[in-house]
Amino acid sequence: MSDHAAKQRIYEQFARIGKALGAPGRLELIDLLAQGERPVDALAKEAQMSIANASQHLQVLLAARLVDTRRDAQRIYYRLAAPSVIELWLALRRTAESQLAELPGVAREYLGDPDTFEPIDRDELARRIEAGTVVVIDVRPAEEFEQGHLAGAVSVPVDEIKRWARDEAPKRKQIVAYCRGPYCVYAIEAVAELKKRGLRAVRAEDGVAEWRAAGLSIETGKSAP
């Protein structure tokens, strides 16, 4: 084998990762798994795929060693194989944001006008959490919250936001809602509902994956009663 042919085999291994990432559905599954492990049926429901389609995508990710599995009785749970997979996903996203002029317009069609609910940045939110001047709510599903959430956050799934706003929301402190990162609509919906009720609310653009990658504190378990 020539030296160059041997070198090409190295790039073939790199290309396995690129090929595995080359489908929107698989990227969405990686984004969901960045929130915590799940069985295929839960992933399929959240990604609005058939179970068969989700399973096929997961098998491609598994073959590229981007996900791992564990068995619990009759169920198989999928999880990201390593922290480097989250770093890869975030790096891919940042590259798209910096290089693809079309992305903001596409995102606006889904998220609405970004200026309507301008997010608080990560560093400022960390300062306010440290100072105790905000109440942070995690509006993702409860099972995602339990697997990892911003330190001190309260679990308020988006479908419970009206009840929480009526019965439990603070009247004086600012409320900061976050979900799965900048392309998740849950926090936008939560802030809109809170503002309709006269509450002081903003959204955080970053979620657990971004905070973990930045080395900031992440907790696990349920909300304190």
Q: What pLDDT is recorded for position 5? A: 86
Q: What pLDDT is recorded for position 25? A: 98
Structural domains of the chain, with CATH: 3-88 (1.10.10.10), 108-219 (3.40.250.10)
Q: Is the dihedral of CA 102, 106, 111, 113 positive or negative?
A: positive
Q: How far apart are CA 133 and CA 117, in angstroms?
A: 20
pTM of the complete model: 0.91
| Residue 113, helix vs strand vs coil | coil
Q: What pLDDT is recorded for position 4? A: 87
What would the two tokens of residue 134 be?
Answer: 């905000």
Q: How far apart are CA 81 and CA 83, in angstroms?
A: 7
Q: Which of 140, 138, 142 is nearest to 125 (CA)?
A: 138
Query: pLDDT tens, position by position, for the chain (225 residues)?
Result: 568 888 999 999 999 999 999 999 999 999 999 999 999 999 999 999 999 999 999 999 999 999 999 999 889 999 999 999 999 999 999 999 999 999 999 999 998 876 566 788 899 999 999 999 999 999 999 999 999 999 999 999 999 999 999 999 999 999 999 999 999 999 999 999 999 999 999 999 899 999 999 999 899 998 755
Catalytic residue, chosen from 44, 179, 184, 201, is 179
Q: How far apart are CA 156 and CA 149, in angstroms?
A: 12
179 classed as catalytic: yes
